[in-house]
Chains A and B, each alone.
Chain A
Amino acid sequence: MSWLTLFAQVQIHHRASDCESNNGFCPDWIIKNFGDRYVDPFFRHLELVVISVLVGFVIAFALGIVAHRRRWLVGPVVGITGVLYTIPSVAAFLLLVPITGFGLLTAVIALSSYTLLIIFRNVVAGLAAAPAEARDAALGMGLTDSQVLWRVEVPLALPEIFAGVRIATTTTVGLAALAFFANAGGLGGLIFGDLVFKSNVVVAGGLCIVMAFVLDGLLLFAQRLSTPWVRAARA
């Protein structure tokens, strides 16, 4: 199945009313079709985003931890993830299809690789930003190297790490709209399925924006909960 056939499969709605025939913004049509057309793709989109960011985070965080104690690794990792980042996203999906086929796997590989650069850089910068005197005091009091990492450096890097994950998540919500090129579903299929019908574009696009906002809000909330000292310092 080639990607061109995907377009052919997209179901075009029946233009029943005037508003619909004129491709306008039709609240009645939206209310009637919302449950059937948009709910499942929305959750599929969410699934793509959450899995991709999680996978990207795990890889980037692990790389960041390794590169933190071996600084010479930072350059090469930034270089490689940077190259991944510059591959045009549509091209990435299409390049992967012959190897991993259509579906979730292809979409997640492409989407998570876009998060690596952002998250990795923030993890490394966050870990390096722990105050030298806190590290010195920690070692001087008898924390081992790994205790310094997990009890001092990682907690102090959290604001920076969260910042990276938030940018990566917002970006991925947008990029996941292209996952339909890999036949991985999501809201992208709906948007591109009928670009001229305003009701469709507004609802599908709007849901992407809502998802980006909600996820960002949840991450911000988690960040506040896990870094109470940051607010204490500002007060």
Chain B
Amino acid sequence: MAAALEFQQVSKTYPGSDEPAIQSLSFEVPAGDICVLVGPSGCGKTTTMRMVNRMVSITSGEILLDGRSVLDRKAYELRREIGYTIQQIGLFPHETVAANIATVPKLLGWPKDRIRDRVGALLDMFSLPQDMAGRYPAQLSGGQRQRVGVARALASDPSIMLMDEPFGAIDPITRGRLQNEFLRLQGELRKTIVFVTHDIDEAIKMGDRIAVLKKGGVLAQYATPAELLLAPVDAFVEDFVGADRALKRLALLRVRDVDLWKAPRVRPGDPVAQAQEQVADSDLPYSLLIDADGKPLGWLSDRDLAGERVPDEADTAPTPRLDQDSVLRDALAELLEEDTQYGPVVDERGAVIGVLSIELIAQFLASKDPRELDPPERAGVEP
């Protein structure tokens, strides 16, 4: 259950200021999508987000949640329907993890049993041990606090979430893990999410749609990540997205979404002639030795194929083994790391499903059709 969000000509001018902070902002977020607000500091992205739950008052225009203006109910009632997380997390230091998570359910008057069950379920959902319920925020690590903050925002199962740099205050490794964890959760929850960040890479990774704002709260471009990287509307967006935007597109596609090369596969004991035949038919100069389960054993050199039968071992190790779920950017990094032109792609059981080469990645980078770039999981988003 998610709500659609719509900004209609929304403006904000802070009292005592001549310059508007937000100027006539209009865009729609379809229910269940992550909309990332991104831009340089002072562009009004946090202000924009905070107007949705009226933490910042709206000067003019309308913000609609499922067609209903956010102004037509009391601010505190509206806020209880909207999940809210901020960069500094804002956990209550004097309350246990369980009490923190239970904040909104308590305000909504849920019965005690239901609150306890919900807290337990949320701890599970965020891979936090159940005995953490009784601990205080000061006893948690940064990453754990961040998870509890998001769990607290999800506690009453709101249809929409506001997240202001929710992974901003933690180290890059934990941040990457939390981002992945959150995307996996979002795959099930399908909340409508307004996500604020200053980091274009995070925006590209997290967003179904990205709103790029420039100084003075002007919407520069509102597009899918692929569109944004492929066709920035002006010099500002192009500059903000970065000179490496072609490379950034590699973060949008997973290895399994690429039309991989077929690997010439042979097993130990197969006739050598068969192996040579397969190589002649493929894009690759060597055949791949696999075991009975289809796992790669190595690349067979001409020397390996001097005999009648394919040997048990291959000359060259089949590294890197590329995970079909990796994004192309990571796969490319692995290929470069191993100083090789191609590597076998394996599925979750480790069996070979094809071969990815630097040549394939280069072809992808040269392609210009944004529809081709839209990964399947984002296919539901209409421009």
Interface residues of A (CB under 8 A from B): 131, 133-144, 147, 152, 155-156, 158, 227-229, 232-233, 235
In the complex, which residue of chain A has the Cβ closest to the Cβ of B90? A137
Which of B8-16, B34-42, B73-81, B368-376 forms contacts with chain A? B73-81
Residues of B within 8 A of A228 (CB): 136
When the two chains form the complex, which single residue of B86, B88, B139, B153 contacts A232, counting CB atoms closer than 8 Å? B139
B92 x A136 contact (CB < 8 A) = no
B177 within 8 A of A: no
A142 x B80 contact (CB < 8 A) = yes
Residues of A within 8 A of B179 (CB): none
A140 x B79 contact (CB < 8 A) = yes
Residues of A within 8 A of B85 (CB): 137
When the two chains form the complex, which single residue of A142, A155, A156, A233 contacts B79, counting CB atoms closer than 8 Å? A142
In the complex, which residue of chain B has the Cβ closest to the Cβ of A232? B136
Residues of B within 8 A of A158 (CB): 94
8 residue pairs from A and B, CB less than 8 Å apart: A137-B86, A137-B92, A142-B78, A147-B107, A229-B138, A232-B139, A233-B136, A235-B139
Q: Map CB proximity to A onto B123-166 as digits: 1 under 8 Å, 0 otherwise.
A: 00000000000011011000000000100110000000010000
B86 x A136 contact (CB < 8 A) = yes
Residues of A within 8 A of B135 (CB): 232
Residues of B within 8 A of A156 (CB): 92-94
Whole-angstrom distance between the alpha carbons of A229 and B95 in the complex? 7
Given contacts A141-B84, A142-B104, is CB(A133)–CB(B89) below 8 Å? yes
Candidate in B86, B136, B139 with the most chain A CB atoms within 10 angstroms: B136
Whole-angstrom distance between the alpha carbons of A133 and B86 in the complex? 8
A134 x B93 contact (CB < 8 A) = yes
Interface residues of B in 200-238 (CB under 8 A from A): none
Candidate in B53, B92, B103, B153 with the most chain A CB atoms within 10 angstroms: B92
When the two chains form the complex, which single residue of B93, B104, B139 contacts A141, counting CB atoms closer than 8 Å? B104
A141 x B80 contact (CB < 8 A) = yes
* 3 interchain residue pairs of minimum CB distance: A137-B90, A233-B138, A142-B80
A233 x B93 contact (CB < 8 A) = yes
When the two chains form the complex, which single residue of B78, B89, B136 contacts A137, counting CB atoms closer than 8 Å? B89
In the complex, which residue of chain A has the Cβ closest to the Cβ of B107? A142
A140 x B84 contact (CB < 8 A) = yes
Given contacts A137-B86, A232-B135, A232-B138, is CB(A144)–CB(B93) below 8 Å? no
B317 within 8 A of A: no
Closest chain-A Cβ to B339's Cβ sits at a distance in Å of: 47
B122 within 8 A of A: no
Residues of A within 8 A of B77 (CB): 142
A139 x B93 contact (CB < 8 A) = no
A155 x B76 contact (CB < 8 A) = no
In the complex, which residue of chain B has the Cβ closest to the Cβ of A154? B94
Closest chain-A Cβ to B44's Cβ sits at a distance in Å of: 18
B92 x A233 contact (CB < 8 A) = no
B86 x A227 contact (CB < 8 A) = no
A138 x B90 contact (CB < 8 A) = yes
Residues of B within 8 A of A139 (CB): 55, 79
B43 within 8 A of A: no
Given contacts A232-B135, A232-B136, A233-B138, is CB(A140)–CB(B55) below 8 Å? yes
Interface residues of B in 174-214 (CB under 8 A from A): none
Whole-angstrom distance between the alpha carbons of A156 and B137 in the complex? 13
When the two chains form the complex, which single residue of A133, A143, A229, A232 contacts B107, counting CB atoms closer than 8 Å? A143
A143 x B76 contact (CB < 8 A) = yes
B90 x A131 contact (CB < 8 A) = yes
B91 within 8 A of A: yes
Whole-angstrom distance between the alpha carbons of A155 and B162 in the complex? 27
A229 x B93 contact (CB < 8 A) = yes
Whole-angstrom distance between the alpha carbons of A120 and B81 in the complex? 37
Residues of A within 8 A of B81 (CB): 142
Residues of A within 8 A of B76 (CB): 142-144
In the complex, which residue of chain B has the Cβ closest to the Cβ of A155? B94
When the two chains form the complex, which single residue of A134, A147, A232 contacts B91, counting CB atoms closer than 8 Å? A134
In the complex, which residue of chain B has the Cβ closest to the Cβ of A158? B94
Closest chain-A Cβ to B57's Cβ sits at a distance in Å of: 13
Closest chain-A Cβ to B305's Cβ sits at a distance in Å of: 66
Candidate in B85, B94, B149, B153 with the most chain A CB atoms within 10 angstroms: B94
When the two chains form the complex, which single residue of A138, A142, A232, A235 contacts B92, counting CB atoms closer than 8 Å? A138
Closest chain-B Cβ to A150's Cβ sits at a distance in Å of: 12
In the complex, which residue of chain B has the Cβ closest to the Cβ of A140? B84
When the two chains form the complex, which single residue of B53, B94, B139 contacts A140, counting CB atoms closer than 8 Å? B53
In the complex, which residue of chain A has the Cβ closest to the Cβ of B153? A141
In the complex, which residue of chain A has the Cβ closest to the Cβ of B88? A133
Q: Map CB proximity to A onto B75-119 as digits: 1 under 8 Å, 0 otherwise.
A: 011111100111011111111000000011001000000000000
Other than A136-B86, A229-B95, A229-B136, give 18 A-B pairs with Cβ distance below 8 A: A131-B88, A131-B93, A133-B88, A133-B89, A134-B91, A138-B90, A140-B86, A140-B90, A140-B162, A141-B103, A141-B104, A142-B76, A142-B78, A142-B104, A142-B107, A152-B92, A232-B138, A233-B139
